[in-house]
Amino acid sequence: MRNLIGLFWLHFFIFLFWVNSPVAVCQQFSSQRAGFLINVNGIENPYEIMTVFTLPNEKLKIEVKKNKAADEYRVYSPGGKIIPAASRHWEWRVPSRTGRYLVKIVRVDHQRTMTLNVFVMLPFDRIAGEHLNRFQVGQYPQKELRGLAIDKPPRGFVEVTPQNEDAFISPHFKLKQFLCKQNGGYPKYLVLQEKLLLKLELILEQVNEKGYRCDTFHVMSGYRTPYYNKAIGNVKYSRHIYGGAADIFIDENPKDNTMDDLNQDGKLDYEDATILYQIIDRLYGKRFYEPFRGGLARYKKNSNHGPFVHVDVRGRRVRWGT
C-alpha cells in the first residue's frame, strides 16, 4: 500500500511539472489556423477569424489560394451580396449601412470554416472640424511625410460601441484592445490596419513556441487620435494615428497591467522587454514575415508605464531603443 501511495505522489508531481513546463505551455496554445488560405483585396489570411475594414458600397474580392483542386468551398453572408466571379473567386458587395457584418468561407469536405468580420467604416469626410459625432479626433497632417502614401489620412473610421467592442477581430485580439485611451463616451472611433492584426498573431504564435505562455498581448497603446497623440507629446506622424502600430507586453502571470518577469530574475525591467524584442527581431529575413516589415523598439519603464515593445507595419525596417 505504501508503495502504491508513493507511486501516486510521484506521478502527481511529474504531472505538475509537465503542466508548468514550456513544452506543455506550447501545446495549450492554439494559433487557430483554418487549414486553408484566402486573399481578400490583396491581403492573405490563414486564420479562422480575421477582420477587413471597408467603406459603404465597395466590393470585396475573395479568393481561396493554394489548395487541392478537389476541395469545395462556399461563401455565406446574411448581409451584402455574394457574386461568384470564377473558380474559388467571389465578390461581396458591401452594404451601404455602416456596422459589422460576417462573411463565412466554408471548406465543405473538411468542415472547416473561416469567419471574416467586415467593418463598414464611416468615411473620413464625415469629420466636422475636429469631431466625428462628438468624438474628438483632431487634425490629421495635410501633407505626407517625405511624400509617402502611408502618411495619407485614413479612409474611414470604425465605430465602436458597447455591443461590438468585445468582438474578436482575430483569433486572440478583441476590438476594444486597440481603442484610443482618451476620455469620452460611446460611440468611440478607431483606425486599424489588417496587417497589424496579422503581424501580432504571428508574433504571438512565435512567443508561445519559445515557451512563454501568452493568450494575447496587453496592448498598452493601439490607435491614437491626432488629438490624443498631440496631447501626450508624441511625434506628428506617429504610426499609431494611422492604425498601424501597437505598444505591447506580455501580461499573464500575474495579470497586473505590467510586463511579466520573463527572465525570472525577480525584476520587471528593460531586460524583460528585450526578450520580447529579440523574439520579434529574429523573424525578420524570413519569407513569411516579409509583408510585415516595420518599426520595432523597446522601452524602459518610467513613472507612467512599465517596459514594453513597439511594433508597426510601416513597410520598411526601422529600429530604435536598442
255-271 burial code (b ≥16 CB/10 A, e <16): eeebbbebeeeeebebe
Whether 124 has a pLDDT exceeding 80, the answer reads: yes
Confidence (pLDDT) at 179: 98
Report the pLDDT averaged over residues 292-319. 95
One-letter amino acid at 60 equals: L
Confidence (pLDDT) at 231: 96
State the cell numbers at 136: 474628438
pLDDT in tens, 134-159: 999 999 998 888 788 899 999 999 99
Confidence (pLDDT) at 29: 92
Confidence (pLDDT) at 109: 81
Report the candidate in 155, 157, 182, 177 with the shortest Cα–Cα distance to residue 167. 177
**Alpha helices per DSSP H over 42-99:** none
6 — pLDDT class (breaks 50, 70, 90): low
Q: In what order do the strands lie in the sheet with 245-249?
A: 218-221, 245-249, 308-312, 295-299, 318-320
Q: If you average pLDDT over every residue of the chain, what do you get?
A: 90
Classify strands 49-54 and 112-120 as parallel, antiparallel or unpaired: parallel
Angle between helices 194-209 and 270-281 (to 10 degrees): 110
One-letter amino acid at 308 equals: F
Report the pLDDT averaged over residues 100-108. 94
Residue 276 DSSP SS3: helix
Confidence (pLDDT) at 237: 95
Confidence (pLDDT) at 161: 97
Lowest mean pLDDT among 10-24, 65-79, 192-206, 224-238: 10-24
Whether 1 has a pLDDT exceeding 70, the answer reads: no
Tell me 94's DSSP state. P
267 — pLDDT class (breaks 50, 70, 90): very high
86 — pLDDT class (breaks 50, 70, 90): confident
Whether 9 has a pLDDT exceeding 70, the answer reads: no
pLDDT in tens, 235-260: 999 999 999 999 999 999 899 999 99
In the chain, count of helices (H) and strands (E)? 5, 21
228-246 burial code (b ≥16 CB/10 A, e <16): bbbeeeeeebbbbbbbbbb
The pTM for the full model equals: 0.89
Classify strands 168-170 and 218-221 as parallel, antiparallel or unpaired: unpaired
Whether 227 has a pLDDT exceeding 80, the answer reads: yes
Confidence (pLDDT) at 16: 42
pLDDT in tens, 11-66: 444 444 444 444 444 458 999 999 999 999 999 999 999 999 999 999 999 999 87
